[in-house]
Every structure is written in C-alpha cells, then in structure tokens.
C-alpha cells in the first residue's frame, strides 16, 4: 500500500512538473510569436512567425540531443542545451537587426547628403526621398521606399518618417527625423538643415570609430575572461570526466554551477558597461 502511494506521489509530481513546463513553453511561445512578427516585418524577411517557432523547437531538440550525447545524458546539461536551442532563433533575429541597423547608419550620411542636394536643386521632400531610393541600396532603400508607399496611401510623410524612426531605433535617424519635423513646422531651409545633419552624423561616426579602436582591447579581454572558465571545464571534462562530473550530477555541484553562471553574466555586464561610451 505504501509503495502504491509512493508511485502515485511520484506520478503526480511528474504531471505537475510537466504542466508547469508546458505552461512556461506556451507563455514563451506567445511572446516569441509577438516579438518575431515585429522583427520579421522590420527586417523584411518574409518568414511566418509560426515557422520560426518550429525552427526554435527543432533547435531545442537538437541542442538537447547534442548535450545528451556529449555529456552522457546529464539532465542539467540536456536542459541547458534545450534552452539554448530554444533561444537561438531569437538571438539570430537580434543579430540580424543589429547588423541591419549598423548598415543603415553607415548609409544614412550619404542618403541625407543626396536628399539635401536634391532639395537644393529645387525638389520637394518627397522627390528628394524618392531620389534616395533610386541611388541607394538596401536597407535604406527599403525603408525610404516604404515611407513613400505609406505617403501615397494617405499617411503624412513626416508621420511615415516617424514610424520608420520608431521601427529602426537608430539614434542618427532619430536626430535627422526630428530635425526635419522641426524644420517643416518652423519653415526653415530644409536643405541647409539636412547638410548640418549630415555633418553632425559624420562627426559622430568619427568619434564612434575612435571609441571602437580604443575599446577593442577591453572587449577582447571581456570575451576571453568569459570563455576561459568554460574552455577550462571542457578540457577537464575531456581529460577526466569523473573529476568534473559531480558538478553536474550533485546538488552542491549544480549550485556551484548556477553561481558561476550568475557571476559570469554579472562580470560580462560590468565589462560592457565599462567600455560603453554614449556618443
């Protein structure tokens, strides 16, 4: 009778854990789909968020399988592999967004200069933006063409530019759009305003380049110090698995591993804060 009660208690605990995990996955799925829909639209990927979610599940299964094979079916490492795989598509989208924003910022000076030249030649703001779409490549061509399309269906061009600013979240674009909006409201000479904006962005880019050069050593040190413990753990695992196995299979070892992860994250955030300089 006692054995039957024990089996029932274990089964109830497993069911409860399963329900909690299922609820957590469903909550993450809803957030993942909402974020993915916004990012896919902003990146012009043309991929359905549901498809990205299926990829995330496949990555989670693959990460769990790889960690199971590598670590001889250690539950903690299998769970970490599944979580890492589940987060992989989201991190990939963030990386794509960051790279696209950097490319957009690199094109913005030339685009503003082209628009200023077009307006000096007598073109309107709409015609100047259209000139930019003819002479520039993606991603800036896509964004300006989208703003023109929104204007053609009835949205004011300033509002279309404001929406583009909110979608891309670029500091240089925010400066340019705000200046254009103020010039439109106050009746300033927009071509001169655009030339001043281009010069301001060039100055920022020069300062950013110097900062990147000066902080390269700090970033490299942060990467090396963050990866060194895990590399050393991997070497020890390959040389003597029995020595490092208790860290993953015992409660004290797992607590130590959790503390290591927390300290690693805190250290990386501190290093990023030290080398970050706002321009």
- Domains, the chain, in order of start with CATH, read 101-204 (1.20.81), 215-279 (no CATH)
The whole-number pLDDT of residue 62 equals 85
Q: How far apart are CA 25 and CA 107, in angstroms?
A: 40
Q: What is the number of helices (H) and of strands (E) in the chain?
A: 12, 0
Burial annotation 185-206 (CB, 10 A radius, 16+ → b, else e):
eeeeebbebbbebbebbeebbe
| Neighbouring C-beta atoms of residue 105, cutoff 10 Å | 19
| Neighbouring C-beta atoms of residue 60, cutoff 10 Å | 20
Cβ-contact 248, 74 below 8 angstroms? yes
pLDDT in tens, 104-158: 888 888 888 888 888 888 888 888 888 888 888 888 888 888 888 888 888 888 8
The whole-number pLDDT of residue 7 equals 63
Cβ-contact 105, 168 below 8 angstroms? no
The contacts of residue 248 (CB under 8 Å, 6+ apart) are 71, 74, 76, 77, 254, 257
Average pLDDT for consecutive 10-residue bins of the chain (279 residues)?
62 72 77 79 77 85 80 72 82 86 88 87 84 87 88 85 85 86 79 86 82 76 80 80 75 77 80 67
DSSP 279: -
Residue 241 corresponds to which tokens in the numbers above? 């698995």
The whole-number pLDDT of residue 11 equals 66
Element (H, E) at 108: helix 75-120
Q: How far apart are CA 221 and CA 225, in angstroms?
A: 6
Count, residues in the chain: 279
The contacts of residue 229 (CB under 8 Å, 6+ apart) are 260, 264
| Neighbouring C-beta atoms of residue 142, cutoff 10 Å | 16
Cβ-contact 254, 248 below 8 angstroms? yes
The whole-number pLDDT of residue 6 equals 64
């Amino acid at each position: 009778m006692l054995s039957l009660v024990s089996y029932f208690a274990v089964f109830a605990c497993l069911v409860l854990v399963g329900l909690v995990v299922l609820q957590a996955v469903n909550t993450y799925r809803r957030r993942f789909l909402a974020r993915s829909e916004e990012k896919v639209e902003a990146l012009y990927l043309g991929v359905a968020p549901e498809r990205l979610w299926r990829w995330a599940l496949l990555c989670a299964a693959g990460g769990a399988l790889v960690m199971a094979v590598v670590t001889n079916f250690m539950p903690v490492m299998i769970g970490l592999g599944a979580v890492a795989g589940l987060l992989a598509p989201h991190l990939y989208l963030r990386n794509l967004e960051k790279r696209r924003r950097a490319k957009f910022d690199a094109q913005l000076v030339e685009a503003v200069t082209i628009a200023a030249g077009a307006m000096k030649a007598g073109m309107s703001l709409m015609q100047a933006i259209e000139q930019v779409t003819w002479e520039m490549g993606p991603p800036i061509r896509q964004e300006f063409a989208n703003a023109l399309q929104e204007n053609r269906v009835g949205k004011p061009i300033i509002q279309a530019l404001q929406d583009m600013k909110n979608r891309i979240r670029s500091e240089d674009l925010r400066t340019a759009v705000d200046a254009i909006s103020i010039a439109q409201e106050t009746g300033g000479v927009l071509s001169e305003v655009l030339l001043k904006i281009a010069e301001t962005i060039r100055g920022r880019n020069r300062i950013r380049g110097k900062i990147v050069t000066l902080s390269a050593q700090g970033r490299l040190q942060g990467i090396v110090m963050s990866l060194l413990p895990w590399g050393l753990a991997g070497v020890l695992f390959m040389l003597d698995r029995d020595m490092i196995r208790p860290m993953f299979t015992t409660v004290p070892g797992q607590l130590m591993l959790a503390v290591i992860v927390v300290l690693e994250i805190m250290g990386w955030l501190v290093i990023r804060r030290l080398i970050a300089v706002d321009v």
